[in-house]
Structure 1
């Protein structure tokens, strides 16, 4: 994360107003610490990534995403271009910089009826089921769709036995009833929130019209995601968990309903109070007892033996039966649409009353300790949701880990024939602190002979790795009756004062200055290749 202009002990909050092209980063006093400028009104939302860049969803054409760096430069301008479908609502950023985005495809009324949709609930002549894509950047304005999942592949119905997907809904909670709602089919089930869990490789979705949250497996291939097998959980693209309204899969009544046309759904992140739980902003439309919005927290039922979601007995709904925590917003903060909630580092919960443009911070004992009214571009402009940015704390200083270079060995050769090749070796060792890393290099300034080193440098040598043996090959100079010497220096590349030397000596056979009889001298000159051992020993 880039350094923020003003410190904030509570963290920061990022949001983009509904009628603005600007994303604002504020601290707990409401002071704007930084802004990012996009080119369009939001499709719905924007998010900050770990490097300080902001992903803007854009309401232009078929939708897309612009990524703007902390310094304001445009890093990526992706536009979705497929026919008969378009982007909507929300995105989730993956650890590698890819993003997941909620889409809608356009199906005709005839296609929807064949799938089992009640014809009386098809408005505007078509039916638009949601799907999810993952986009990987390939250039400044391009991206590849590397993964896809379609709810159209995972439907069931009990309305018309002559149509596709007819079955007993209660027997198939892994499938979505195409008739779970009867009032809206422009974006079905009107998915309006997506989150990603990198620890489990799962995707969390808000199925708004069904008053549910759904979880699907992201580890599948696109082909596996069309079916009912595959992926690390073995269920392909089927729902592996759902919660909020058992009526949607015929395993409950209105008394069992927990969610009411919710918007943001998200996991509580690791390291935060309640980690692994799910937070939901339940808007409260059609809530028994009155239209009140709430922030709901629940703990999914996990089978401890398998680590997977507990599959209830036949006819029973997914657990839990009760919420872990709930905060009912005051009547004046009821939000008919939009809205979100996130857990903060200190255990408080940040809640966005979207249609009112109001953020509140609520303690675990349900006290409102902070309120902010969005003033941009005008007072209380709508905000789809706000993102909590935890306070940046530099990692604690680590004790120094100093490497220490040491060398063992010497290179010494005597009475070597001129022009011959000799071999030797020496060792390089890090005798420094246990966790230290030594980066070293050989510095050879010897000008005589031709030198070859099997290893001339090394990176990240630890004491535990022991010595590195460097083999040396030298082509001896052609001078006779000569003595050569010098030093090879091995240096710590990160500390010029840490070095060691390997002494080097080499001699060629010394001329004994023997007076040969004339006939012997003439014989040796007459036959220059004869008597090699004699010549070598006598230095001739």
Structure 2
């Protein structure tokens, strides 16, 4: 099916202005690069708006035919657009977001930014405080808040389709006495990271994991967690400190969570450890606080970690592969590179003092029983990535923080370079086949040829036309967000 759309009438939508400030917050070894400039050598039917400053820049027949979901960090509205850059659905909220997700039942899972009861929690970036479910009609069906003097919700959330439960990420502020007793040298107040799983029907916490239950350190022999760090890769070195942490109290700065229902495991991205961790979700809360129980017998200890073995006293700078990464997520089993982990590697050029980013895929080499093995060097493999995207001129692609990437059913990858609000899709060879720039900044939707100011987007995702949640919506194209766009676009199904 071919649909021809002529963009003449802009989509008019009132956008409530945000008052919150954003804080910065296998064997193939394939590396694919692409020139960030739009090629003139495109197939017939492509839309090329390379003189535009916002909205649709490129659409080709090689783009995956789907709907892109995004919610600007400084807007209270979430948008769903088609491949021609036209709005097909919006959701209102009273709160500006970090992550948002469309669910199979048609509801929108939306984080909301609150004024923190303890203003310290606004220093590290990524603060939220609230998660809510919004119906197709725009009604808030449920919400939950974690916002106190000692706890605050942040960054990402995860919905478990089989149970309807919601996982949230929470900072907890610890006193200096608690931190010292746990063996940290030069102890001060510090934040730990918790995961809470909430049942929206009962508003109860049904499962919990706390990083403080999984520590090792080799500096204070009087503490119960004293041990050899390199001998305990399943634990977190409590005296490891990332020298470029944005906020000293925020020791770990976890920034994403994803759940694999087949494995019943969770992957967590830790910015300040420059690695992601996989933990067992099959435990009870009591087991998750221990080193025993669950499908793998280790309680809430780390099953697998990757990105920077220096944090468990192994390897050196040459072994560090991830740099303040975001959005660690499992690629679905039936997709290209299925069951592997994709990340947005924000500051790949860290050791070279060059600002550029990459998208990387890691084969965790998971066993049939969901287990993971250290290699002969005592490090979790692999040695390198399965697949990497970087720009031909690598500094043309860079997101210092936020941002994300997801593999699509046809093998393409949708990328959100969040600091410029730029979404683009690349095929497996690394060619850009679709590109869009978020036109919504803190003033609302800007006119075409204007330059948006701080049009940040935490992350975007693209949904297949047959995604169950889309069946609840009409999906009629209503025009572009920005005024002044005038082009012909073709969507090929």
Asked if TM exceeds 0.5, the reply is: yes
1:352 to 2:405 alignment: no
| C-alpha contact (below 8 Å) 1:9/1:391 kept by paired residues | no
Deviation of the 1:157 alpha carbon: 1.2
The answer for the alignment partner of 2:80 in structure 1 is 25
- What CA distance in whole angstroms lies between the structure 1 residues aligned with 2:286 and 2:362? 32
Deviation of the 1:83 alpha carbon: 5.3
Deviation of the 1:59 alpha carbon: 1.1
Deviation of the 1:333 alpha carbon: 3.1
TM-score, structure 1 as length reference: 0.67
Give the alignment's Cα RMSD to 1 decimal.
Answer: 2.1
1:170 to 2:236 alignment: no
**Unaligned ranges ≥5, structure 1:** 1-7, 395-540
The correspondence for 1:271, drawn from 296, 316, 334, is: 334
The answer for the alignment partner of 2:250 in structure 1 is 187
**Cα distance 1:16–1:61, how it changes in 2: closer, same or farther (>3 A)?**
same
Deviation of the 1:51 alpha carbon: 1.7
Deviation of the 1:29 alpha carbon: 1.6
The answer for the alignment partner of 2:126 in structure 1 is none
The correspondence for 1:386, drawn from 442, 456, 460, is: 460
- What CA distance in whole angstroms lies between the structure 1 residues aligned with 2:423 and 2:66? 14
The answer for the alignment partner of 1:322 in structure 2 is 384
- What CA distance in whole angstroms lies between the structure 2 residues aligned with 1:200 and 1:211? 24
* 1:403-414 matches, cutoff 5 A: none
- Give per-residue Cα distances to partners, 1:12-49, cap 9 Å, x unaligned: 1111101011111111221111000111011x211111
- What CA distance in whole angstroms lies between the structure 2 residues aligned with 1:165 and 1:93? 33
The answer for the alignment partner of 2:205 in structure 1 is 145
Q: Which moved more, 1:75-84 or 1:58-67?
A: 75-84
- What CA distance in whole angstroms lies between the structure 2 residues aligned with 1:172 and 1:300? 19
Q: Which moved more, 1:159-168 or 1:127-136?
A: 159-168
The answer for the alignment partner of 1:197 in structure 2 is 260
The answer for the alignment partner of 2:401 in structure 1 is 337
The answer for the alignment partner of 2:433 in structure 1 is 369
SS of 2:72's equivalent in the other structure is coil
- What CA distance in whole angstroms lies between the structure 1 residues aligned with 2:417 and 2:257? 18
| C-alpha contact (below 8 Å) 2:64/2:410 kept by paired residues | no
TM-score, structure 2 as length reference: 0.73
| C-alpha contact (below 8 Å) 2:390/2:397 kept by paired residues | no
Q: Which moved more, 1:324-333 or 1:97-106?
A: 324-333
- What CA distance in whole angstroms lies between the structure 2 residues aligned with 1:69 and 1:17? 19
**Unaligned ranges ≥5, structure 2:** 1-62, 117-128, 446-451, 469-493
Deviation of the 1:112 alpha carbon: 1.7
Deviation of the 1:116 alpha carbon: 2.3
* 1:75-86 matches, cutoff 5 A: 75-80=141-146, 84-86=150-152
SS of 2:286's equivalent in the other structure is helix
- Give per-residue Cα distances to partners, 1:370-427, cap 9 Å, x unaligned: 1110001353601011122122179xxxxxxxxxxxxxxxxxxxxxxxxxxxxxxxxx
1:116 to 2:190 alignment: no
- What CA distance in whole angstroms lies between the structure 2 residues aligned with 1:118 and 1:390? 50
The answer for the alignment partner of 2:166 in structure 1 is 99
- What CA distance in whole angstroms lies between the structure 2 residues aligned with 1:228 and 1:336? 36
- What CA distance in whole angstroms lies between the structure 2 residues aligned with 1:97 and 1:188? 31
The answer for the alignment partner of 1:47 in structure 2 is 101
SS of 1:284's equivalent in the other structure is coil
| C-alpha contact (below 8 Å) 1:11/1:388 kept by paired residues | yes
**Cα distance 1:298–1:110, how it changes in 2: closer, same or farther (>3 A)?**
same
- What CA distance in whole angstroms lies between the structure 2 residues aligned with 1:188 and 1:33? 41
| C-alpha contact (below 8 Å) 2:134/2:141 kept by paired residues | yes
- What CA distance in whole angstroms lies between the structure 2 residues aligned with 1:346 and 1:327? 16
- Give per-residue Cα distances to partners, 1:129-164, cap 9 Å, x unaligned: 10100010136xxx1111000000001112333444
The answer for the alignment partner of 1:136 in structure 2 is 199
Choose between structure 1 and 2 for higher RCO, CA contacts under 8 A separated by at least 6 residues.
2
SS of 1:351's equivalent in the other structure is strand
- Give per-residue Cα distances to partners, 1:485-537, cap 9 Å, x unaligned: xxxxxxxxxxxxxxxxxxxxxxxxxxxxxxxxxxxxxxxxxxxxxxxxxxxxx
- What CA distance in whole angstroms lies between the structure 1 residues aligned with 2:437 and 2:167? 30
Aligned length: 379
Deviation of the 1:303 alpha carbon: 3.3
